[in-house]
Structure 1
Amino acid sequence: MKVLIACEESQEVCKAFRAKGHEAYSCDIQMCSGGYPEWHILGNVLTVINGNTDFTTCDGQTHTAGKWDLLIAHPPCTYLSNAGAARLHKKINGKSYIDFERFKKGKDAKEFFLKFIHAPVEKIAIENPIPSKVFELPKYTQTIQPYEYGHPYSKKTCLWLKNLPKLTPTNIVKPICSWVSGGSKKADGTARTNCGMSFRDSKTKSKTFSGIAQAMAEQWGNIKEDNDDSDERGI
């Protein structure tokens, strides 16, 4: 299969598909940190998302994409996620006002998100956190957790799937804490009993867990064209 992994600098998913023999490429506006520049396209993914075009990987080699068989996208979630919704409003003299600059950035992020939903690729998976209702994204197909794939953390993540079956857990373990810190207090002001990991690096927060990447490669990498179990809900 020819696989495009959009908005991925870690190359975690790309490496998982390459290990299964697929022609996979990661693409991001950031340089890859996964160690395989020969599999990474540095630039705006929208320039290659339609396929049938030439592109250059970070090792300087030029390739012809042809038609992508599978698109897996990780669009930025800063302004779309439910967690970020609290920052959409600000208080002035005791009154609540919408932050129009942040709202506009959220609308732009939604437009970018929809580019993946409408991409001319037969099989599509889009990954993002629980979205804010404000931006009215299409209904997601399923939610997954790292602890379902061998990592002892909770981080509820949504998948929007087209012509792909739902991802099946591979190694359920007991979570020890949240992967992303939610702060020291709850919304009602009381102390959190589980504050999550203490790191603040955005790359670490958003990196795909290797167990999830491997499950994607194993479960979606061998799907035949006539698979009747594909799930077309959500997008």
Structure 2
Amino acid sequence: MRVLVGCETSGVVRRAFDALGHDAWSCDLLPADDGSNRHIVGDVRDLLGDDWDLLAVMHPPCTRLCNSGVRWLNDPVQKNPPDEASPAEKLAWAGLSIDERRVIMHRLLDEGAALFSDCWNAPIARVAVENPVMHRYAKERIRNYQQPAQTVQPWWFGDPAFKATSFYLRGLPKLAAATRLTPPASGTEEHKQWSKVHRATPGPDRWKLRSVTYPGIAAAMAEQWGGHAMQEAAE
């Protein structure tokens, strides 16, 4: 199957599909961390019409879409400018009025929703988009919006970590849990290790840690979603 993995720099999902023999490519505005020649630097939307069998969009910009960020839309009082703001906006942020900051925040919301919407409605038979649960303003901006099909945890698939991951699915089945681990008790050192994504300290690389895809989930995607696509193609 021809598989496009959008918004991924790590190559984790691309490699999982590639390991099972699929013609898998990743795409992001940034280069691939592993230097692979099967990574395209650019906007994933420019590739959506290239006759793919399966699209998996793993880490689209979601800060402005998710429930945890909705409060900043109309009350953007945070000290630091949003990461997605332009360089000029970041320089001017401290001196902007609340209304001027609101204009920026709503533009970023529109941009994030447009990316999600274009991927969700791509001319591809099978689509999976990872994203947290959205607030109502984001939902209103997305064409043919549907609720996420499921929310999974890495420890369902053998990875010792907590990171609730929601998938919006079209033409694909829900992922079935593989090797479920037993979560450690709250307050233990092991529990802290499993929670490292949520405990990450602010910094330039925090976004990478928080957007990581664990290998167990990636393997399940390749096996189950890739297998589903192969079965449909054979029928």
Query: What is the TM-score of this pair, normalised by structure 1?
Result: 0.76
Aligned to 2:56: 72
Structure 2 residue 195 is matched with structure 1 residue 178: yes
CA RMSD across the alignment: 2.3
Which residue, 201, 215, 222 being the options, matches 1:217?
A: 222
Whether the 8 Å CA contact 1:170–1:215 is kept in 2: the answer is yes
Aligned to 2:103: 100
Amino acid at match of 2:232: E
CA deviation vs aligned residue, 1:163-206 (integer Å, no higher than 9, x gap) = 1110011122215243433xxxxxxxxxxxxxx34464211211
Structure 2 gaps, min length 5: 78-97, 185-190
TM superposition shift of 1:150: 1.6
Where 2:119 maps in the other structure, the secondary structure is helix
Which residue, 72, 80, 85 being the options, matches 1:87?
A: 72
Where 1:5 maps in the other structure, the secondary structure is strand
Where 2:169 maps in the other structure, the secondary structure is strand
Change (3 A) 1:227 1:163: farther
Amino acid at match of 1:82: N
Question: 1: distance between equivalents of 2:234 and 2:209?
Answer: 35
Whether the 8 Å CA contact 2:197–2:209 is kept in 1: the answer is no
**1:152-191 pair list within 5 angstroms:** 152-173=160-181, 174=183, 176=191, 177-181=194-198
TM superposition shift of 1:112: 1.1
**1:1-235 pair list within 5 angstroms:** 1-36=1-36, 38-51=37-50, 67-74=51-58, 75-90=60-75, 99-136=102-139, 138=145, 139-173=147-181, 174=183, 176=191, 177-181=194-198, 196-198=199-201, 200=203, 201-223=206-228, 224-225=231-232
Query: What is the TM-score of this pair, normalised by structure 2?
Result: 0.76
Greater share of strand residues, 1 or 2? Answer: 1
CA deviation vs aligned residue, 1:91-116 (integer Å, no higher than 9, x gap) = 78xxx988232122112210110101
Q: Which has the higher contact order (CA 8 A, sep 6+)?
A: 2
Aligned to 1:192: none
Structure 1 gaps, min length 5: 52-66, 182-195, 229-235
Q: How many residues align?
A: 195
Where 1:208 maps in the other structure, the secondary structure is coil
Question: 1: distance between equivalents of 2:10 and 2:43?
Answer: 16
Amino acid at match of 1:42: V
Greater share of helix residues, 1 or 2? Answer: 2
